Amino acid sequence: MSKAVMIQGTGSDVGKSLLVAGLCRAAANRGIKVAPFKSQNMSNNAAVTADGGEIGRAQALQALAARLSPHTDMNPVLLKPESEQGAQVIVQGKRAGTQLARDFGKSKQSLIKPVLESFTRLKAQYDLVIVEGAGSPAEINLRAGDIANMGFAEAANVPVILTGDINKGGVIAQIVGTQAVLPPEDAAHIKAFIVNKFRGDAALFDEGLVAIEQMTSWPSIGVVPWFFDACRLPAEDAPELTGGTGGTFKIAVPLLSRIANFDDFDPLASEPDVSLVMVPPGLPLPADAQLVILPGSKSTIADLAFMRAQGWDIDLAAHIRRGGHVLGICGGYQMLGQTIADSDNIEGSGSTAEGLGYLEVHTVMKPEKRVRLTKARDPVSGAAISGYEIHLGETTGVDCARDWLRIGQHKHGASSPNGRIRGCYLHGLFTSDAYRSAFLRSYDVRSTISYDSDVDATLNALATHLEQHLDINHILKIAG
């Protein structure tokens, strides 16, 4: 019979996703057939699966750690925020509609059926399933109808290991306090705890471990030191975006309020000769950037207004006047055009917005969502590209006739007459080493890394890190 264990956290950003990825690779390195699972995730950084659906980027990375292709069963419910109050709901990879947070809270219990269906399929195929919780089980106000933490653990009868973040401070209170607020039947699911993100001499926390064990009766699985190479792995949450500042070729990316699929830039940030600047709201686009990339967005029209509110449209105009180059990906591509029409209220605007006007193209939002893995090529260098498309809009216009990328025999994207402004719907294009090298070479910049190999090596280093500092055998015993 297959085994399972769930990693829950005392709060958000305690390192659950990274722990699950590292444990998946550690298990795979031991010859265990392992798969990741997260019943409910919330992220605009989605990945496309081979079965034609969407899952959270963290689960795609965890699948890679397990040496598997991502599958929609690994993340059956994905929430993609479209506003402060509502999100697009993805169920088993497919768009099920948009709901306000209060409405989702009332209806989420109905999603336990597809969640358990997906989990059961994974358990039938793999020797071990490592489950990631969401947020914290201590949010007892959300316990009714919960499908992400203790509600799932109870429904699927999965033991839990609780993780606290010592880097935030107060880790003893985090763990002991979680037990204190949980109903006894929920607390009973927790079999042990982990202290994560320690800096310095871990022996200095020995008395802290003893205190937690005495107050909770839970054993410690270990204290995990800070993993400094985590920045080399794709991030799921926009607040984690810092870019890279090593090289002389400067690329600026504005941090839109609904930025999506921002892992597009990870390979560029990893290049030693590139300086990737993620520009937060309230700051101007740097005047010395040679290239500005407008990223994907979950709400293009709203983010276009957000961009103008920051004055980034003025900065972009100055950048172009100075001879700078601009690239738009997905939502950023749509913004560069003449108009964006949302007459069917797909994004909730129900109107037509004037674009930035740098490409002679027009976008119409349509209810049919294109979600697919895509192979393309650069007709200039001949470099192959393996990427993906995930968008609602359809973009047409005279600038689409200029050849930039090819998907099969079809032209893809658009380019201005002088070639300095381009846009496309293809995510992940910079992950392809050959294309990234050709792209940077066109700016007289060297590419010196193999991105996929570097990510794989980092996952192995993470697995080794966890093997050194956690009792993996105890975790496997709990799973059994």
pLDDT in tens, 412-451: 999 999 999 999 999 999 999 999 999 999 999 999 999 9
Shortest CA distance to 6 belongs to which of 188, 159, 189, 195? 159
State the Cα angle at 228 between 475 and 260, rounded to 5°: 90
Q: What gap in Å lies between CA 201 and CA 224, rounded to an integer?
A: 11
Q: Is 427 a catalytic residue?
A: yes
Instruction: Decide if domain 3-226+457-479 falls under CATH 3.40.50.300.
Output: yes
Cβ-contact 255, 228 below 8 angstroms: no
Given 189, 325, 427, 469, the catalytic residue: 427
Query: Residue 239: its pLDDT value, please?
Result: 46
- Domain edges within the chain: 3-226+457-479, 237-449
**Three-state secondary-structure class, residue 374:** strand
Helices (H) and strands (E) in the chain, counts: 15, 27
Q: Do domains 3-226+457-479 and 237-449 have the same CATH topology?
A: yes
Q: List the end-to-end C-alpha distance of the chain, in Å, as a whole number.
A: 9
Residue 106: pLDDT over 80 = no
Query: Residue 368: its pLDDT value, please?
Result: 84
Residue 237: pLDDT over 70 = no
Q: Which helix (H) or strand (E) holds 67?
A: none
Most confident region among 91-105, 116-130, 384-398 by mean pLDDT: 116-130
Residue 401: pLDDT over 80 = yes
Query: Residue 155: its pLDDT value, please?
Result: 96
CATH superfamily of 237-449: Class I glutamine amidotransferase (GATase) domain (3.40.50.880)
Mean of the per-residue pLDDT values of the chain: 93
Sign of torsion over alpha carbons 212, 191, 65, 80? negative
Mean pLDDT of the region 336-340 = 97
Query: Residue 44: its pLDDT value, please?
Result: 84
Cβ-contact 254, 285 below 8 angstroms: yes
Given 24, 330, 400, 424, the catalytic residue: 330
Q: What gap in Å lies between CA 422 and CA 414, rounded to an integer?
A: 6
Shortest CA distance to 82 belongs to which of 301, 381, 347, 328? 347
Q: 9-18, 66-75, 81-90, 218-227: which range is least confident on average?
A: 81-90
Mean pLDDT of the region 130-141 = 96
Q: What gap in Å lies between CA 292 and CA 253, rounded to an integer?
A: 6
Q: Where do we find the tokens 């090298």?
A: 437
CA count, 13 A, side-chain hemisphere, 405: 26
Query: Residue 307: its pLDDT value, please?
Result: 97
